[in-house]
Amino acid sequence: MLCSRCGRRICASCSKPYGDLTLCPSCFRAVVMNIQRPNASSTTRPNSNAQSSSNVKPTTPHRRTIIALLTVSAALIWFNADLLLVWPAFYTIWAGFFPWIIQLGTLSFILGVVLGLVIDLAVVMFALGLRAEAAFIVFPTAIISFFIGGGFLAGLIIAVLTGIFIMMNERVSQTTETQLATR
Protein backbone atom coordinates (compact mmCIF):
# COMPACT_ATOMS: atom_id res chain seq x y z
CA MET A 1 0.00 0.00 0.00
CA LEU A 2 1.20 3.54 -0.73
CA CYS A 3 0.39 6.78 1.06
CA SER A 4 -1.80 8.97 -1.14
CA ARG A 5 0.03 12.10 -0.04
CA CYS A 6 3.75 11.30 0.14
CA GLY A 7 3.95 7.96 -1.72
CA ARG A 8 5.62 6.15 1.19
CA ARG A 9 5.04 2.39 1.52
CA ILE A 10 2.82 1.51 4.47
CA CYS A 11 1.37 -1.71 5.81
CA ALA A 12 -2.39 -2.22 6.05
CA SER A 13 -2.38 -1.90 9.85
CA CYS A 14 -0.57 1.45 9.74
CA SER A 15 -2.72 3.00 7.00
CA LYS A 16 -5.18 5.70 8.03
CA PRO A 17 -8.26 6.28 5.87
CA TYR A 18 -9.13 9.94 5.36
CA GLY A 19 -11.99 10.46 2.96
CA ASP A 20 -10.99 8.73 -0.27
CA LEU A 21 -7.30 8.83 0.67
CA THR A 22 -5.11 6.26 2.38
CA LEU A 23 -2.47 8.06 4.45
CA CYS A 24 0.56 7.07 6.47
CA PRO A 25 0.41 8.04 10.17
CA SER A 26 2.71 11.02 9.61
CA CYS A 27 0.67 12.47 6.75
CA PHE A 28 -2.55 11.75 8.62
CA ARG A 29 -1.34 13.90 11.55
CA ALA A 30 -0.21 16.59 9.13
CA VAL A 31 -3.55 16.70 7.30
CA VAL A 32 -5.92 16.34 10.25
CA MET A 33 -4.05 18.40 12.82
CA ASN A 34 -2.52 21.01 10.45
CA ILE A 35 1.03 20.10 11.46
CA GLN A 36 3.69 20.81 8.88
CA ARG A 37 5.43 17.56 8.01
CA PRO A 38 9.12 17.77 7.18
CA ASN A 39 10.01 17.26 3.53
CA ALA A 40 10.93 13.82 2.23
CA SER A 41 14.70 14.46 2.26
CA SER A 42 14.76 15.16 6.00
CA THR A 43 12.81 12.00 6.89
CA THR A 44 15.69 9.71 5.88
CA ARG A 45 18.02 10.93 8.59
CA PRO A 46 17.16 10.46 12.26
CA ASN A 47 15.79 13.68 13.61
CA SER A 48 14.19 14.11 17.00
CA ASN A 49 11.87 16.82 15.65
CA ALA A 50 10.54 14.58 12.89
CA GLN A 51 10.01 11.74 15.34
CA SER A 52 8.28 13.89 17.94
CA SER A 53 5.87 15.59 15.54
CA SER A 54 2.97 13.82 17.27
CA ASN A 55 3.71 15.84 20.41
CA VAL A 56 3.28 19.18 18.64
CA LYS A 57 -0.04 20.90 19.34
CA PRO A 58 -2.00 21.97 16.28
CA THR A 59 -2.10 25.64 15.55
CA THR A 60 -5.35 27.41 16.24
CA PRO A 61 -7.18 28.59 13.14
CA HIS A 62 -7.27 32.35 12.73
CA ARG A 63 -4.36 32.82 15.13
CA ARG A 64 -3.45 36.26 13.80
CA THR A 65 -7.07 37.40 13.99
CA ILE A 66 -7.33 36.37 17.64
CA ILE A 67 -4.09 38.15 18.50
CA ALA A 68 -5.22 41.27 16.64
CA LEU A 69 -8.63 41.31 18.33
CA LEU A 70 -7.15 40.94 21.80
CA THR A 71 -4.62 43.68 21.06
CA VAL A 72 -7.41 46.00 19.85
CA SER A 73 -9.39 45.20 22.99
CA ALA A 74 -6.42 46.07 25.22
CA ALA A 75 -5.83 49.30 23.27
CA LEU A 76 -9.48 50.32 23.64
CA ILE A 77 -9.35 49.74 27.39
CA TRP A 78 -6.15 51.80 27.65
CA PHE A 79 -7.56 54.58 25.51
CA ASN A 80 -10.77 54.62 27.55
CA ALA A 81 -8.76 55.01 30.76
CA ASP A 82 -6.55 57.74 29.23
CA LEU A 83 -9.55 59.77 28.11
CA LEU A 84 -11.06 59.56 31.60
CA LEU A 85 -7.93 61.17 33.03
CA VAL A 86 -7.03 63.65 30.29
CA TRP A 87 -10.32 64.93 28.90
CA PRO A 88 -12.71 66.34 31.55
CA ALA A 89 -15.62 66.66 29.09
CA PHE A 90 -15.41 62.95 28.30
CA TYR A 91 -15.20 62.22 32.03
CA THR A 92 -18.49 63.98 32.74
CA ILE A 93 -20.26 62.35 29.77
CA TRP A 94 -18.92 58.92 30.68
CA ALA A 95 -19.93 59.41 34.34
CA GLY A 96 -23.52 59.82 33.11
CA PHE A 97 -23.39 56.29 31.69
CA PHE A 98 -21.28 54.76 34.46
CA PRO A 99 -21.92 56.71 37.71
CA TRP A 100 -19.46 54.63 39.78
CA ILE A 101 -16.56 56.19 37.82
CA ILE A 102 -16.91 59.27 40.03
CA GLN A 103 -16.01 57.22 43.12
CA LEU A 104 -13.08 55.56 41.33
CA GLY A 105 -11.49 58.89 40.37
CA THR A 106 -7.90 58.49 39.16
CA LEU A 107 -7.99 54.82 40.14
CA SER A 108 -9.92 54.29 36.91
CA PHE A 109 -6.81 55.34 34.95
CA ILE A 110 -4.60 52.91 36.89
CA LEU A 111 -7.21 50.16 36.55
CA GLY A 112 -7.43 50.70 32.78
CA VAL A 113 -3.66 50.54 32.32
CA VAL A 114 -3.34 47.39 34.44
CA LEU A 115 -6.25 45.67 32.70
CA GLY A 116 -4.81 46.55 29.28
CA LEU A 117 -1.47 45.05 30.31
CA VAL A 118 -3.17 41.89 31.58
CA ILE A 119 -4.93 41.42 28.23
CA ASP A 120 -1.58 41.97 26.51
CA LEU A 121 -0.18 39.23 28.77
CA ALA A 122 -3.01 36.98 27.56
CA VAL A 123 -1.96 37.76 23.97
CA VAL A 124 1.59 36.61 24.76
CA MET A 125 0.28 33.47 26.46
CA PHE A 126 -1.92 32.71 23.45
CA ALA A 127 1.01 33.21 21.10
CA LEU A 128 3.05 30.76 23.20
CA GLY A 129 0.34 28.11 22.84
CA LEU A 130 -1.36 28.48 26.23
CA ARG A 131 -4.78 28.98 24.69
CA ALA A 132 -7.09 27.91 27.51
CA GLU A 133 -5.08 29.86 30.10
CA ALA A 134 -5.22 32.97 27.92
CA ALA A 135 -9.00 32.66 27.62
CA PHE A 136 -9.37 32.31 31.39
CA ILE A 137 -7.33 35.48 31.86
CA VAL A 138 -9.32 37.42 29.25
CA PHE A 139 -12.80 36.73 30.69
CA PRO A 140 -12.39 38.22 34.21
CA THR A 141 -10.20 41.03 32.92
CA ALA A 142 -12.83 42.06 30.38
CA ILE A 143 -15.58 41.93 32.98
CA ILE A 144 -13.57 44.02 35.45
CA SER A 145 -12.93 46.54 32.68
CA PHE A 146 -16.67 47.26 32.74
CA PHE A 147 -16.04 49.35 35.87
CA ILE A 148 -14.19 51.94 33.79
CA GLY A 149 -16.40 51.61 30.75
CA GLY A 150 -14.92 48.47 29.20
CA GLY A 151 -12.95 50.24 26.51
CA PHE A 152 -16.02 52.10 25.23
CA LEU A 153 -17.88 48.78 25.75
CA ALA A 154 -16.38 47.64 22.44
CA GLY A 155 -13.19 46.46 24.17
CA LEU A 156 -15.25 44.42 26.63
CA ILE A 157 -17.37 42.83 23.90
CA ILE A 158 -14.38 42.07 21.66
CA ALA A 159 -12.44 40.48 24.53
CA VAL A 160 -15.34 38.30 25.68
CA LEU A 161 -16.20 37.11 22.15
CA THR A 162 -12.54 36.40 21.39
CA GLY A 163 -12.23 34.42 24.65
CA ILE A 164 -15.28 32.37 23.67
CA PHE A 165 -13.77 31.77 20.22
CA ILE A 166 -10.49 30.63 21.81
CA MET A 167 -12.29 28.17 24.08
CA MET A 168 -14.40 26.79 21.23
CA ASN A 169 -11.27 26.12 19.17
CA GLU A 170 -9.51 24.64 22.21
CA ARG A 171 -12.35 22.14 22.62
CA VAL A 172 -12.23 21.20 18.95
CA SER A 173 -8.45 20.66 18.98
CA GLN A 174 -8.65 18.59 22.19
CA THR A 175 -11.32 16.40 20.61
CA THR A 176 -9.15 15.89 17.53
CA GLU A 177 -6.13 15.01 19.68
CA THR A 178 -8.17 12.46 21.68
CA GLN A 179 -9.55 10.86 18.53
CA LEU A 180 -6.04 10.49 17.10
CA ALA A 181 -4.70 9.09 20.36
CA THR A 182 -7.37 6.36 20.45
CA ARG A 183 -6.51 5.09 16.95
pLDDT number for residue 143: 93
Q: What is the pLDDT of residues 54-67, one digit of tens each?
A: 444 445 568 899 99
pTM: 0.63
Q: How many CA atoms lie within 13 A of 79 on its CB side?
A: 12
Whether 48 has a pLDDT exceeding 50, the answer reads no
Sorted by sequence, the CB contacts under 8 Å of residue 16 that are 6+ apart come out as 22, 23, 24, 25, 28, 183
Q: What is the pLDDT of residues 141-165, one digit of tens each?
A: 999 999 999 999 999 999 999 999 9
